[in-house]
């Protein structure tokens, strides 16, 4: 059985984590598949967006602690190696010059929550939920969660989530800014596809450059960010999409992007 299923819908890749018997827990094989597939899709010019979801009742319950325990009692090495693969996966999502949307069909806990937060957008079933799930097990957050969380909800709320590890339902998740949209039960995947389809009027190259600049701004000094914006705007303006957008404005018509 494939641990990761890939389907293509009109240029949108849907990746389904396929370990429902363990609530799509992350072991080495699943993380390698996710990492490699994200990298390949990021380079595939036929793909204009990626959706990540889970098979069965959960999105992803986090790291597979039973799998980790079976590797021996050297937890430090096992976690270190596993998180290295997780880091490669979330880096590929962030570097991908196209949108990546998490379709949260059920519980997203631990690494599953970090994976969802690493995506550009999140669409959540009304019955789904988040749980930080690290500190209540004596662990610390990985998968870029400590980077994403305070930037989405603010420093104080991020610390609240770390300190109390309460369940976060869909209503609270959207009000806190953790998700883009809450949809009816069982509709998160279609909702995520619709979100990407709404971006058809935006050239993928423009989105990709802007996405990269936004994420880089989190760790770049202001003056350096200004220079990056200056350079990339000049690059975009000289591409066919930029030239078409300018021409359409001057000619008072809608742009036609290919």
In-domain check, residue 63: yes
75, 15: one domain:
yes
The encoded tokens of residue 184 equal 């009816």
Q: How confident is the model at residue 56 (pLDDT cuts 50, 70, 90)?
A: very high
Nearest to 233 by CA among 255, 209, 214: 209
Structure tokens at 34: 């996710």
Residue 7 has pLDDT above 90, yes or no: yes
Quick one: pLDDT at residue 124? 98
What would the pLDDT profile of 225-234 be if each residue is shown by its tens digit?
888 888 888 8
Residues 144 and 241 in one domain: no
Q: What is the pLDDT of residues 24-55, one digit of tens each?
A: 999 999 999 999 999 999 999 999 999 999 99
CA–CA distance from 187 to each of 24, 106, 130, 191 (Å)? 19, 11, 17, 6
Give yes or no: residues 184 and 215 share one domain.
no
For residue 57, give the DSSP letter: T
pLDDT of residue 223: 86
* Same domain? 69 vs 114: yes
Does 72 map to a domain?
A: yes
Whether 144 and 35 map to the same domain: the answer is yes
Judge whether 161 and 168 are in contact, CB under 8 Å. Answer: yes
**pLDDT tens digits for 196-232?**
999 988 899 999 999 999 999 988 888 888 888 888 8
Q: E strands of the chain, at which residues?
A: 4-9, 12-17, 49-54, 58-60, 100-104, 107-109, 121-125, 129-131, 168-169, 181-183
> What average pLDDT does range 58-80 have in this prediction?
92
Give rounded-to-5 percent helix, strand, coil for the chain.
55, 15, 30
Model confidence, pTM: 0.90
What is the predicted pLDDT for the residue at 89? Answer: 96
Question: Is residue 257 in some structural domain?
Answer: no
- Calculate the CA 199 to chain-centre distance: 16
User: For residue 62, what are its two tokens?
Assistant: 């986090």
Q: Is residue 185 part of a domain?
A: yes
- Residue that finishes a domain, picked among 185, 200, 215: 200
Q: What 8-state DSSP symbol labels residue 119?
A: S
Whether 171 is in a domain gets the answer yes
Same structural domain for residues 128 and 229? no
Residue 258 pLDDT = 78
Domain that includes residue 240, residue range: 202-250
What CATH number does residue 108 fall under?
3.90.226.10
Same domain, residue pair 99 and 225: no
CATH number assigned to the domain comprising residue 217: 1.10.12
Q: 86 and 207 share a domain?
A: no
Is 255 inside any structural domain? no
Q: What is the dihedral of CA 135, 137, 139, 143, to 10 degrees?
A: -80
CA 200/CA 149 separation, integer angstroms:
28
Residue 256 in any domain: the answer is no
Domain count, the chain: 2
Span 174-181, mean pLDDT? 97
Least confident of 65-74, 83-92, 149-158: 65-74
The reply to whether 258 falls in a domain is no
Is residue 116 within 8 Å of residue 59, measured between CB atoms?
A: yes
Residues 92 and 122 in one domain: yes
Please state, for a pLDDT cut of 90, what percent of the chain lies above it. Answer: 79
Q: What is the spatial distance between Cα 8 and Cα 188, in angstroms, rounded to a whole number?
A: 16
Whether 26 and 95 map to the same domain: the answer is yes
97 in the same domain as 85: yes
* Same domain as 57, residue 152: yes
Asked whether 126 and 148 are in contact (CB, 8 A), the reply is no
């Amino acid at each position: 059985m494939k641990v990761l299923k890939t389907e293509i819908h009109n240029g949108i890749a849907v990746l389904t984590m396929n370990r429902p018997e363990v609530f799509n827990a992350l072991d080495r094989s699943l993380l390698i598949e996710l990492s490699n597939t994200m990298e390949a899709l990021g380079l595939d010019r036929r793909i204009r967006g990626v959706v990540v979801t889970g098979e069965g009742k959960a999105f992803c319950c986090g790291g597979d602690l039973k799998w980790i325990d079976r590797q021996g009692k050297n937890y430090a090495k096992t976690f270190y190696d596993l998180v290295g693969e997780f880091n490669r996966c979330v880096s590929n999502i962030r570097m991908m010059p196209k949108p990546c949307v998490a379709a949260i069909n059920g519980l997203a806990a631990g690494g599953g929550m970090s994976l969802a937060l690493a995506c550009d957008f999140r669409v959540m079933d009304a019955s789904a939920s988040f749980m930080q799930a690290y500190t209540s097990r004596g662990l610390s957050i990985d998968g870029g969660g400590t980077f994403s969380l305070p930037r989405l909800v603010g420093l104080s709320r991020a610390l609240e989530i770390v300190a109390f590890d309460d369940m976060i339902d869909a209503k609270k998740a959207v009000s806190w800014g953790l998700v883009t949209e809450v949809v009816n039960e069982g509709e998160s995947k279609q909702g995520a596809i619709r979100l990407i389809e709404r971006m058809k009027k935006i050239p993928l190259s423009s989105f990709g450059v802007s996405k990269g600049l936004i994420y880089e701004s989190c760790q770049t000094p202001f003056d350096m960010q200004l220079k990056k914006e200056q350079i990339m705007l000049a690059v975009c303006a000289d591409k066919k999409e930029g030239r078409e957008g300018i021409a359409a404005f001057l000619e008072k018509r809608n742009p036609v992007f290919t």
